[in-house]
A and B are shown apart, each in its own frame.
Chain A
Amino acid sequence: MKFRALALLFAGLLSDPAMAAKKEDAGVEVKVQVVDLKGEPIPTSVVRHPSESDRHRVNSEDGTWKATALYMPDGSELRFTPGMDLELEVSAPGYKTQQVVYQVRKSRNVLQVALEVIEITEENVEEPIITFKQDKVREATEE
């Protein structure tokens, strides 16, 4: 036990400062899981930032998407940092698109988004009668 604690302390002292700095610049990972109202993952859903043109598909197995940063159309990078409000649009075919705002934490950023199915009610549509299309009798014209 003592040996382990000493070994860890030693490793921390010897770690590369550059790596530490890189870790801080990478951004915080945010994981988004898209499910339906029953909790089942929606494999066809996509996640995107409102300003972004690309659509990020989720994992077809578990319906998740994760990233540490997003890249805007103007080439800028939106890094996820703790404390920032991250706006995301989550959509899927046949489901109502959801816009979420998530405050990024230092760690364990897991966001579950439940999408609602678009219900289109079948209204009482009247079906027109198919006519027999009989010829109309012409009146005799005087020439």
Chain B
Amino acid sequence: MMRANFWTRSVVAGLVLMGTASAEDWTSWTGLFPAVPCSDGWLGCVVGGQSLGAGAATVAGIPAAANARLNWWDLQPTAALSPFVGLSAYSGPIGGVVAPPPAAEPPPAPAPAPAPPEEPVAQNDTPAPAPAPASIREPAPAPAPSGGSLRPAPAPVAAAPAPTPAPAGGSLRPAPAPAPSPVAAPTPAPAPVAVAPAPAPAGGSLRPSPAPAPASVAPAPAPTGASLRPTNNNVTPVSAAPPSDSCDDLVMLEPNALMGQLTKGQTSCLESRIATEPQQTTRDKVSRLLINNAYAKGDKGAWEQLVKRHLESIDRSDPDMCYNYALQLSRGGVGRAQGVVRWADYALENKAKWSGSTYKSRVFALMKIKAEAAMKLWKDAEEKYTADRSDEAEAASNKYRANAKEYAKEWLDYAKASGQDSSAALALCVSAAGNASYCGG
């Protein structure tokens, strides 16, 4: 009985596993191959020196969808993080680059060109040559076939085979383009190879020139033996140039700064630029790049230092920056409370740059953190006075208490006037004042 149960269970388990295994096929992995991986809507792009394409990207050795903005495994930003990037800049030469010839050079396939409409000769296997100049020059006289017509030999190429003899009655035809294989079927170049359109032959019809090549392939000259290799259908990937350490173009650095991906060289360049730049406005912009970079990297310590330097020595008229800095300081202890009051005051000096609900919420927040900081200072002074009953300690305690009372009253008045919650402000005010009558309670 037990043996039967064991076998039954094994069979059932095997069926379940088989079902599970067969349920997966390639369609289960379509998410790994996004159609449009780039934020700018293109199929391929270069972001911060990293190429993105439609295939799966590899992050830390693990395949991931190329359009994933955050790495699944460590939640770090990927190259596709920012949706605000513009078109990727192209750094190669206009018209593309001619691919270097390989070591063993097979006979290149000619560009596909339609047969001339007035071609009287029956089609043979010879691929349609590109139009040649009127004066046809045969590189080497081929032996005359039995039909008596003279047919030019193909252009001399190292491995070019002998051309097939023309059929009886064959007429003179222009020299073919770079040594085609006479018997080989015309190999259509998947990507059209740029060939400079030659002038129409005398007496012949004008053959339409091949389609212009994409930018990745340089326009080949008239068939003079230049070896143009057909490329595949996909766009030839542009090899991502390593990011330069130059910091001349600040606008170009903005996307990287937004993602926290400025290189060390770029950061050093920007730092030296701050030290040497004579124009204040430029120093402002450079400093903002560094600040945004530190913020995006999550380096709060560096961000704080950079903001402090910006506010102390560059410009303190930006209320947003003062507000952010005061907010950051308010999260610290009593040692930072003086800074909170100071930078909150600077932000409030320029609060006119805000408007609407932004104005209301930020002014409220600034007054709140200012009152809280004053309360922390007063509490600290009181504790010091409790330990040391000196006149100086008492004077300090009274001073900070007066500040706490004043800032709390300001906060309370603004909260009431703007229709926001005033309970905390009232509690602070009454605590500092010692009675509710001062606070209008």
Shortest CB distance A126–B (Å): 8
- The reply to whether A89 and B434 contact each other, CB–CB distance below 8 Å, is yes
A94 and B295 in contact (CB under 8 A), knowing A50-B435, A120-B372? no
Q: Mark A108-136, 1 if CB is under 8 A from B, else 0.
A: 00000000001111010111111111110
A130–B290 Cα distance when bound, in Å, is 11
User: Is B285 among interface residues, defined by CB-CB distance under 8 A?
Assistant: yes
Q: Which one of A43, A94, A99, A134 contacts B375 once the chains associate, using CB atoms below 8 Å?
A: A94
User: Is B427 among interface residues, defined by CB-CB distance under 8 A?
Assistant: yes
Shortest CB distance A76–B (Å): 19
Q: Which one of B254, B281, B292, B431 contacts A92 once the chains associate, using CB atoms below 8 Å?
A: B431
A113–B187 Cα distance when bound, in Å, is 98
A125–B364 Cα distance when bound, in Å, is 11
A134–B254 Cα distance when bound, in Å, is 10
User: Is B336 among interface residues, defined by CB-CB distance under 8 A?
Assistant: no
> Which residues of A have CB within 8 Å of B379?
44, 93-94
User: Is B43 among interface residues, defined by CB-CB distance under 8 A?
Assistant: no
Q: Which one of B361, B365, B375 contacts A93 once the chains associate, using CB atoms below 8 Å?
A: B375
Besides A43-B386, A46-B434, A89-B434, 7 more A-B contacts (Cβ < 8 Å) are: A57-B386, A60-B386, A92-B431, A97-B436, A118-B375, A125-B361, A130-B291
> Which residues of B have CB within 8 Å of A121?
424
User: Is B132 among interface residues, defined by CB-CB distance under 8 A?
Assistant: no
User: Is B284 among interface residues, defined by CB-CB distance under 8 A?
Assistant: yes
> Which residues of A have CB within 8 Å of B281?
135
Q: Which of B87-95, B149-157, B316-324 contacts A (4 or more CB under 8 A)?
A: B316-324
A119–B431 Cα distance when bound, in Å, is 13
User: Is B173 among interface residues, defined by CB-CB distance under 8 A?
Assistant: no
Q: Which one of B251, B424, B430 contacts A134 once the chains associate, using CB atoms below 8 Å?
A: B251
- The reply to whether B327 and A127 contact each other, CB–CB distance below 8 Å, is yes
Q: Which one of B324, B378, B424, B432 contacts A127 once the chains associate, using CB atoms below 8 Å?
A: B324
Of chain B, the residue at the smallest CB distance from A118 is B427
A43–B389 Cα distance when bound, in Å, is 13
> Which residues of B have CB within 8 Å of A92?
431
- The reply to whether B378 and A130 contact each other, CB–CB distance below 8 Å, is no
User: Is B383 among interface residues, defined by CB-CB distance under 8 A?
Assistant: yes
- The reply to whether A130 and B320 contact each other, CB–CB distance below 8 Å, is yes
A35–B187 Cα distance when bound, in Å, is 95
- The reply to whether A131 and B288 contact each other, CB–CB distance below 8 Å, is yes
Shortest CB distance A99–B (Å): 8
- The reply to whether A93 and B434 contact each other, CB–CB distance below 8 Å, is no
Of chain A, the residue at the smallest CB distance from B401 is A93
Q: Mark A43-54, 1 if CB is under 8 A from B, else 0.
A: 110101010000
Of chain B, the residue at the smallest CB distance from A51 is B435
- The reply to whether A132 and B292 contact each other, CB–CB distance below 8 Å, is yes
Binding site for A on B (CB under 8 A): 250-251, 254, 257, 281, 284-285, 288-289, 291-292, 295, 318, 320-321, 323-324, 327, 361-362, 365, 368, 372, 375-376, 378-379, 382-383, 386-387, 401, 404, 424, 427-428, 430-432, 434-436
- The reply to whether A44 and B382 contact each other, CB–CB distance below 8 Å, is yes
User: Is A106 among interface residues, defined by CB-CB distance under 8 A?
Assistant: no
Tier of interface size on chain A: 20 to 34
Of chain B, the residue at the smallest CB distance from A125 is B365
- The SS class assigned to the A binding surface is loop
- The reply to whether B382 and A133 contact each other, CB–CB distance below 8 Å, is no
> Which residues of A have CB within 8 Å of B292?
130, 132
> Which residues of B have CB within 8 Å of A93?
375, 378-379, 382, 401, 404, 431-432
Binding site for B on A (CB under 8 A): 43-44, 46, 48, 50, 55, 57, 60, 89, 91-97, 99, 118-121, 123, 125-135
Shortest CB distance A74–B (Å): 17
> Which residues of A have CB within 8 Å of B365?
123, 125
- The reply to whether B251 and A91 contact each other, CB–CB distance below 8 Å, is no
- The reply to whether A128 and B324 contact each other, CB–CB distance below 8 Å, is yes
Of chain B, the residue at the smallest CB distance from A94 is B379
> Which residues of A have CB within 8 Å of B320?
128-131
Q: Which one of B291, B372, B431 contacts A96 once the chains associate, using CB atoms below 8 Å?
A: B431
A131–B427 Cα distance when bound, in Å, is 37
A132 and B378 in contact (CB under 8 A), knowing A94-B431, A120-B368? no
What are 11 A-B pairs at a CB distance below 8 A? A48-B435, A89-B435, A93-B401, A99-B436, A118-B427, A119-B424, A127-B324, A129-B320, A132-B257, A134-B251, A134-B285
Shortest CB distance B170–A (Å): 67
Shortest CB distance A79–B (Å): 22
A92–B431 Cα distance when bound, in Å, is 7
Shortest CB distance B297–A (Å): 14
- The reply to whether A97 and B430 contact each other, CB–CB distance below 8 Å, is yes
Of chain A, the residue at the smallest CB distance from B377 is A93
Shortest CB distance A12–B (Å): 42
Q: Which one of B288, B327, B424, B428 contacts A130 once the chains associate, using CB atoms below 8 Å?
A: B288
- The reply to whether A48 and B434 contact each other, CB–CB distance below 8 Å, is yes
Name the 10 nearest CB pairs between A and B, nearest first.
A93-B379, A128-B320, A44-B382, A60-B386, A97-B430, A118-B427, A94-B379, A43-B386, A93-B378, A120-B424
